[in-house]
Amino acid sequence: MKLQDKVAVVTGAASGMGKAIAILYAKEGAKVVVSDLNEEGAQATVDEIASDGGAAIAVVANVAKEEDVQNMIDTAVDHYGTLDILVNNAGMMDNMMPAAEVTDDLWEKVLSVNTTGIMRATRKALSIFLEKERGVIVNMASSAGLAGSRAGATYTASKHAVVGYTKNVGFQYAEKGIRCNAIAPGGVKTNIGTTMADPNEFGAARAMSGSDNNPRNGEAGEVADIALFLASDDSRFVNAEVIRADAGWLAY
């Protein structure tokens, strides 16, 4: 049990990579707070964990709202007594919108979820981790945070920000017993595409122009395995790092 008696909050855990991470963490002994906007989906994840003998609760939260983030972390502490691991997985796409057509509304909406949500959850978790002088943060970046056109301009900017933020937090709090790392997945079979209502034809064509070079798409469980490594003591010497998980796609 790599996470025995640890308490973990996983955002965006009603489906996809977040769900896979929450289930794997529970199997490895963690008590998991399953957070998502989708209450039914979050509860389904909890039910699956419980059916396997694990411990989990569901918390409905929109990471773009400060009050929801506060409640999410407070609930974890109130229910399980502390917090050891924060996984900032919740995210959304941007309809592959190119820079010339990005609206203020789209920019603010995507950044509020993909970047500001991570900042707020991290800020809240750090208040606990600093007191304990121990804690782990795992952020979900993207190949779009390392390359220039794996999505639209807004999503790309948001994930580049996550990469920089991860490195900053990891280094600055390294001597406080706190580690912060990120995973940068390439193509993974999840339902994040449902956050795109009407993909921009030009932006999508440019973003997907290198898709033929992708060796393969990944499974959510493969990303969860990396998230387990980063949350466990197996990665105790890994900090302020971004791990690519893309079957080598960005190497081209």
> Which residue is catalytic, options 155, 165, 173, 252?
155
DSSP-derived secondary structure for 40-106: HHHHHHHHHHHHTT-EEEEEE--TTSHHHHHHHHHHHHHHHS---EEEE------TT--GGG--HHH
SS3 state of residue 215 = coil
| Pair 61, 68: CB distance under 8 Å | yes
User: What angle is formed at CA 173 by the lines to CA 172 and CA 178, rounded to 5 degrees?
Assistant: 150
Q: Which residues on adjacent β-strands are paired with residue 135?
A: 178
Is residue 85 within 8 Å of residue 11, measured between CB atoms?
A: no
| Catalytic residue flag (residue 155) | yes
Contact 93/196 with Cβ under 8 angstroms? yes
Contact assessment for residue 134 and residue 178, using Cβ atoms and an 8 Å cutoff: yes
Q: What are phi and psi of 140, to 5 degrees?
A: -95, 105
Q: Determine contact, residues 135/177, Cβ cutoff 8 Å.
A: yes
The residue whose two tokens read 């997985």 is 89
CA-to-CA separations, 74 to 80, 82, 120, 143, 201, in angstroms, rounded: 10, 9, 13, 32, 43
Catalytic residue numbers read 155
